[in-house]
């Protein structure tokens, strides 16, 4: 009950906003509805090739023949029976809001499956137009649709479109204008095809078979195929990617390749950015000296704020600029739903939801994005489980630390082809371990704190499509990379000032930072670390990327954060300060199992509307990490 109260289902669009006509777009997930919306309004709403991409309503205005239209893009749903949050929002909107017309978008390739939803919408709204999207794909697949006959059977105009090419959009606008202006009236036929009230959920469920039967009857009159329907599916590829034997191994190989490309590809740009920022830093020193800036101000601005910001950018930007576009290409190809399909049975056994695998994959790029992505999970309790466990997936900000430790202690510090392969394999093993931890914690939460009603998993496996590479890469860089980097920079700036102050404010002969690390040292050594590492994690709360620089600064007794020019030099420094394989293993554990960064915590607070669950999301992994480090370090000390 409490978990449900945390997530409110509502449409954020104010349909009372001034406009000549108000139009809604409705349809199943993954039919190109948001693309149609973008084509009509000129907006750039993110579209994705997996279920649940649009969870909240979006709106946009457009002027068509001197008339202002307010378009509302409703969440993609499969029915009106309030099975999910998306369906509740869409059903309530269509049933209660006064709109002039609804555009029902369907996938021409699977029109029979979509028609049940069309009939439901027509029971709620009188004025409508059916948009047969993806007509080009349907034609290639041998699907022939008699548009006129379909229009007669449904009693509404039917328009064929290909949204990605903006084909048919002008015709859609013309038909829409005629309906809204009253120049074309939808046929006066009985709309309540099944004789049911779609607002009565129980009756609706009982009559779902009647809807399917009516859809089949209409399709028999209006749809024909030039090829065997079985040959039109992606059966051969899905036999591999969704098979019990090969589905998960193929997924692991794919992610291993993704990690390898990210690790290798990001190494050189990071180094180039570091050189550039150091050059600018030297020039800033000269400038500040010329204009006689006080030493204290120079330290806090250059050694504190600037150094922290540039470190975050140089470490975060290259891997994100590689990982996010590649991940977006995988997403747009239609493969992500196959991952959810393969992992659903494991999540179901743990009391979690199969879609949680998608949010975990998003968490690998950024935990804040992963938490936001949890909106696609219908059940409030399962959604909350996904939110509080997302931090177990190491985000982009933790990858540099993990890669550095793996390189120095387990793969050989010379960054060659063999070493990078070892890094990718070990990193993949760590990710698999994170998945197992997530499943275990999810199971524990599902039978204790977050025990609640389980939701079904209606997941459509969309057709494989060739991603629009240039458009996808640009969108990913702007919508994900720059957005996440911007948030990290905002929190890193004040963090840099605080870190510099702790290292430069002295009490007696020691800095505040030294006092803190010495105080934490007994606790740190008890769990296989030391006080410097523990303090670095605490100060690294704004951004995980600055943990290693703080460690280096503390070990070198420097007043500014330092960076390393090679893994060999860093290994020498760490070894000289007592690091061993035990320290490296415990460092990896704590890197994965500690509190989320400030950005993720703020996102959790926003998504759950609860300080309680935000604190729980931070305390729970930290306590687990401390306990696990204590156990592992003491066991390893026996054998090493």
pLDDT the model gives residue 254: 86
Which distant-in-sequence residues (6+ apart) come within 8 Å of 459 by Cβ?
A: 51, 337, 340, 341, 344, 354, 355
Judgement on whether residues 140 and 209 belong to the same structural domain of the protein: yes
pLDDT confidence bin for 188, thresholds 50/70/90: very low
In terms of domains, do 210 and 297 share one? no
| Per-residue confidence (pLDDT) for residue 466, from 0 to 100 | 75
- Whole-number pLDDT of residue 45: 55
Tell me: the pLDDT tens digits for 457-484?
A: 556 666 777 777 787 788 777 776 777 6
Q: Is the pTM of this model over 0.75?
A: no
What is the reported pLDDT for 49?
40
Same domain, 219 and 263: no
User: pLDDT higher for 489 or 321?
Assistant: 321
The answer on 51 and 175 residing in a single domain is: yes
Are both 412 and 361 inside the same structural domain? yes
- Confidence band, pLDDT 50/70/90 cuts, at residue 84: low
- Decide if pLDDT at 230 tops 80: no
For the residues 445-465, what does the mean pLDDT come to?
Answer: 71
Residue 239 lies inside a defined structural domain of this protein: no
pLDDT tens-digit readout, 335-390: 877 887 888 888 888 878 777 887 887 788 778 878 887 877 777 888 899 999 99
In which band, very low, low, confident or very high, does the pLDDT at 455 lie, cut at 50, 70 and 90? low
Contact 337, 566 (CB under 8 A): no
Integer CA distances (angstroms), 425 to 237, 260, 476, in order: 25, 8, 26
Domain finish residue from 232, 267, 302: 232
Q: Is residue 237 part of a domain?
A: no
Reported as a single tens digit per residue, the pLDDT across 299-318 is 889 888 888 788 778 777 78
d(CA 78, CA 110): 13
> Where does the pLDDT of residue 392 fall: very low under 50, low under 70, confident under 90, or very high at 90 and above?
very high
Q: How far from the centroid of its chain's Cα atoms is residue 480's Cα?
A: 9
pLDDT at 425: 85
Q: How many domains are there within the chain?
A: 2
Please check whether residue 20 lies inside any domain of the structure.
yes
498 and 545 part of one domain: yes
pLDDT at 101 (0 to 100)? 93
581-592 and 417-446 helices, crossing angle to 10°: 50
Q: Does position 550 have pLDDT exceeding 50, yes or no? A: yes
CA–CA gap between residue 369 and residue 527 (Å, rounded): 31
Q: Which residue has the higher pLDDT, 145 or 232?
A: 145
Q: Considering 232, 261, 284, which residue would you say is the last residue of a domain?
A: 232
Domain of residue 526: give its range: 247-453+463-639
Using 50, 70 and 90 to split pLDDT, how confident is the model at 9? very low
Alpha carbon of 391 to those of 122, 364, 387, 442: distances in Å? 43, 9, 8, 12
What's the rounded mean pLDDT across residues 473-497? Answer: 74
Least confident of 150-154, 261-265, 603-607: 261-265
What percent of the chain is predicted at pLDDT more than 90?
Answer: 25
**One domain, residues 178 and 276:** no
Q: Are residues 227 and 89 in the same domain?
A: yes
- Whether residue 262 lies inside any domain: the answer is yes
Q: What is the mean pLDDT of the chain?
A: 81
Please give the average per-residue pLDDT across 234-254, as a whole number.
Answer: 82
Residues 507 and 543 in one domain: yes
276 and 213 assigned to the same domain: no
Name, of 255-259, 453-457, 490-494, 562-566, the range with top average pLDDT: 255-259
The per-residue pLDDT for range 19-78, each reduced to its tens digit, is 899 999 998 877 888 889 988 888 755 444 444 444 556 788 888 888 999 999 988 887
193 assigned to some structural domain: yes
What does the pLDDT read at residue 459?
A: 62
Q: Which of 154-163, 439-448, 581-590 has the highest mean pLDDT?
A: 581-590
Q: What is the domain-level CATH number for residue 29? A: 3.40.50.300
Q: What is the DSSP string of 282-301?
A: HHHHHHHHHTT--HHHHIII
In a domain, 448, yes or no: yes
Alpha-carbon distances, residue 204 vs 80, 420, 639 (angstroms): 8, 56, 64
Same domain, yes or no: 385 and 496: yes
Average pLDDT rounded to a whole number, residues 155-177: 89
241 assigned to some structural domain: no
* Model pLDDT, residue 226: 80
Percent over 70 (pLDDT), the chain: 83
Are 272 and 180 within one domain?
Answer: no
Residue 617 included in any domain: yes
Mean pLDDT of 225-230: 65
Task: Indicate the residue among 232, 257, 276 that finishes a domain.
Answer: 232
pLDDT at 631 over 90: yes
């Amino acid at each position: 009950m409490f978990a449900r109260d945390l997530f409110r289902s509502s449409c954020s669009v104010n349909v009372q906003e001034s406009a000549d006509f108000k139009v809604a777009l409705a349809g199943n997930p993954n039919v190109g509805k948001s693309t149609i919306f973008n084509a009509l309004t000129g907006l750039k709403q993110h579209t994705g090739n997996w279920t649940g991409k649009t969870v909240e309503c979006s709106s946009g205005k457009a002027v068509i023949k001197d008339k202002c239209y307010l378009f509302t893009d409703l969440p993609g749903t499969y029915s009106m029976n309030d099975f999910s949050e998306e369906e509740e929002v869409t059903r309530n909107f269509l049933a209660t809001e006064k709109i002039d017309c609804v555009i029902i978008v369907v996938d021409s390739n699977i029109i029979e499956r979509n028609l049940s939803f069309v009939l439901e919408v027509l029971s709620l709204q009188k004025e409508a137009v059916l948009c047969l999207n993806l007509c080009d794909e349907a034609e290639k697949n041998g699907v022939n649709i008699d548009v006129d006959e379909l229009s007669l059977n449904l009693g509404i105009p039917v328009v064929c479109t290909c949204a990605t090419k903006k084909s048919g959009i002008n015709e859609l606008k013309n038909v829409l204008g005629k309906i809204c202006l009253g120049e074309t009236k939808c046929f006066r036929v009985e709309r309540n095809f099944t004789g049911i009230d779609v607002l009565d959920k129980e009756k609706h469920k009982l009559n779902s078979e009647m809807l399917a039967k009516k859809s089949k009857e209409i399709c028999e009159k209006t749809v024909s195929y030039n090829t065997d329907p079985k040959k039109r599916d992606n059966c051969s590829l899905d036999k591999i990617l969704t098979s019990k034997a090969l589905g998960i191994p193929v997924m692991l190989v794919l992610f291993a390749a993704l990690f390898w490309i990210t690790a290798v590809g990001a190494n050189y740009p990071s180094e180039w950015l570091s050189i550039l920022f150091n050059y600018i830093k030297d020039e800033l020193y000269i400038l500040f000296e010329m204009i006689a800036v006080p030493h204290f101000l120079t330290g806090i601005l250059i050694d504190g704020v600037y150094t922290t910001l540039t470190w975050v950018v140089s470490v975060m930007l290259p891997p994100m600029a590689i990982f996010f576009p590649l991940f977006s290409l995988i997403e747009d190809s239609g493969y992500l739903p196959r991952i959810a399909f393969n992992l659903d049975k494991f999540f179901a056994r743990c009391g979690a939801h199969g879609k949680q695998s998608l949010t975990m994959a998003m968490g690998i790029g950024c935990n804040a994005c992963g938490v936001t992505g949890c909106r696609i999970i219908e059940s409030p309790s399962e959604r909350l489980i996904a939110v509080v466990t997302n931090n177990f997936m190491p985000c982009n900000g933790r990858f540099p630390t993990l890669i550095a430790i793996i390189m120095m202690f387990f793969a050989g510090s010379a960054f060659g082809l063999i070493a990078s392969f070892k890094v990718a394999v070990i990193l993949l093993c760590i990710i698999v371990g994170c998945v197992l931890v997530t499943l275990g914690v999810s199971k524990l939460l599902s039978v204790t704190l977050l025990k609640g009603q389980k939701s079904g998993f209606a997941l459509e496996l969309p057709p494989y499509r060739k991603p629009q590479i240039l458009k996808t890469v640009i969108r990913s860089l702007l919508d994900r990379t720059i957005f996440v980097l911007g948030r990290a920079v905002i929190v890193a700036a004040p963090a840099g000032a605080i870190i510099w102050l702790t290292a430069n404010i002295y009490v007696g002969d020691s800095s505040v930072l030294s006092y803190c690390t010495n105080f934490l040292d007994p606790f740190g050594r008890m769990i296989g670390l030391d006080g410097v590492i523990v303090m670095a994690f605490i100060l690294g709360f704004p951004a995980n990327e600055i943990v290693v620089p703080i460690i280096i600064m503390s070990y070198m007794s420097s007043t500014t954060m330092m960076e390393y020019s090679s893994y060999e030099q860093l290994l020498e420094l760490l070894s000289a300060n007592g690091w061993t394989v035990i320290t490296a293993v415990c460092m990896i554990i704590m890197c994965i199992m500690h509190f989320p960064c400030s950005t993720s915590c703020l996102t959790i607070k926003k998504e759950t509307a609860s300080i309680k669950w935000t604190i729980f999301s931070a305390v729970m992994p930290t306590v687990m990490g401390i306990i696990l480090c204590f156990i592992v370090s003491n066991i390893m000390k026996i054998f090493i």
